[in-house]
Structure 1
Amino acid sequence: MNTQLRVRRATVADAPAIAYLLDAVDPPTLVARMRSLPEGHAVLVAERGAGVVGFIHVAVDPSLSGDDRAQVAGLAVAAEDRRSGVGALLVDEAAAWAREHGCHGLWLGSSGRHEAAHRFYRATGFTAVDDHVEFRRPIAGAVDATTGPSRGAVTPVVVRTTPSI
């Protein structure tokens, strides 16, 4: 197996591979979402040879109460490439991107049932802050640029668009 690994900025041509890793969205929807990401977001992919084996979505999260930080909004690595350094490399590259964008740290949310992910996060320098509980509130009638009005699902609100993807 080719062990050469590199990380680069994702393009819409990577949507099928990212959609496969996510296993929750079809490529055309993902392309539309990638194109509508606001300024201050980056999607990075890890390639081994000619194939995408992982991705990370990171976004600047400005704060009025403290230093800006960046949110890891998505991270996935192909099952056969887990525990090989791909995820750690993606986190390091996301941290470098965040630093370049004025952020002082990374954060992410994870439910209590993902123990293997929690071990990975701790191994890559994250610390659990507290017994965080995530609350969600659907926004009735919210419009997703790719699928139209929702029926109570939480959908992202696009503030600005960026031509970088």
Structure 2
Amino acid sequence: MRIERVADAAAVLAAADLFDGPPLVAATEKFLAHPDHHLLLAYEDDRAVGMVTGVEMTHPDKGTEMFLYELGVAPHARLKGVGTALVEALAAIARERGCYGMWVGTEIDNEAAQRTYRRAGADDEEPFLLLSWDVTSPGT
């Protein structure tokens, strides 16, 4: 298995089955254009079998941390260390870029994700409440 940082939208589109939904061309190009956005693909031979995305987030009183945005592994490649290797590769980029930490949120019942993140060195934090807005509709 090899892991590569992706800079070409065509590689992302070719790995569409690793994402929750089909990658949008404009959104993919916008994501890849930002130097603080990272998309890594794991390959077995020439076939993408996993992906991870990360976004550097900077705050005036904290510095920069890496947000692990999404992790996806093809069903046939699960339980082979692909997810752990991708998370570790993103953590290495975070270190290289001077981030003070890396974090991820996941569903409470997503035990597979939790095992992967813990295997890659994540520690549990105190539970917190996530609030979100749908800003696509007026008045929300």
Tell me if TM exceeds 0.5: yes
Distance 1:39 1:68 in 2: 13
Structure 1 position 125 matched with structure 2 position 82: no
Letter in 2 for 1:21: L
**Counterpart of 2:74?**
78
**Counterpart of 1:12?**
9
Shift of 1:131: 0.8
**Counterpart of 2:132?**
136
Does the 8 Å CA contact 2:66/2:99 hold for their aligned counterparts? Answer: yes
RMSD over equivalenced CA pairs, Å: 1.9
Shift of 1:16: 3.0
Shift of 1:102: 1.3
Structure 1 segments of 4+ aligned residues over 3 angstroms from their partners: none
**Counterpart of 2:96?**
100
Letter in 2 for 1:32: A
Distance 2:112 2:40 in 1: 22
TM-score by length of 2: 0.87
**Counterpart of 1:35?**
29
Does the 8 Å CA contact 2:87/2:117 hold for their aligned counterparts? Answer: no
Distance 1:12 1:137 in 2: 28
Shift of 1:22: 1.5
Distance 2:85 2:122 in 1: 14
Aligned length, in residue pairs: 136
Distance 2:13 2:35 in 1: 23
Distance 1:102 1:135 in 2: 29
Distance 2:101 2:77 in 1: 26
Larger Rg belongs to: 1
Distance 1:79 1:59 in 2: 25
Structure 1 position 44 matched with structure 2 position 25: no
Shift of 1:103: 0.5
Taking CA–CA contacts closer than 8 Å with sequence separation of 6 or more, which of the two structures ends up with the larger relative contact order?
1
TM-score by length of 1: 0.75
Letter in 2 for 1:82: R
**Counterpart of 1:21?**
18
Shift of 1:65: 3.1
**Counterpart of 1:144?**
none
Structure 2 segments unaligned to the other structure (5+ residues): none
Structure 1 segments unaligned to the other structure (5+ residues): 141-150, 155-165
Identity percentage of aligned residues:
30
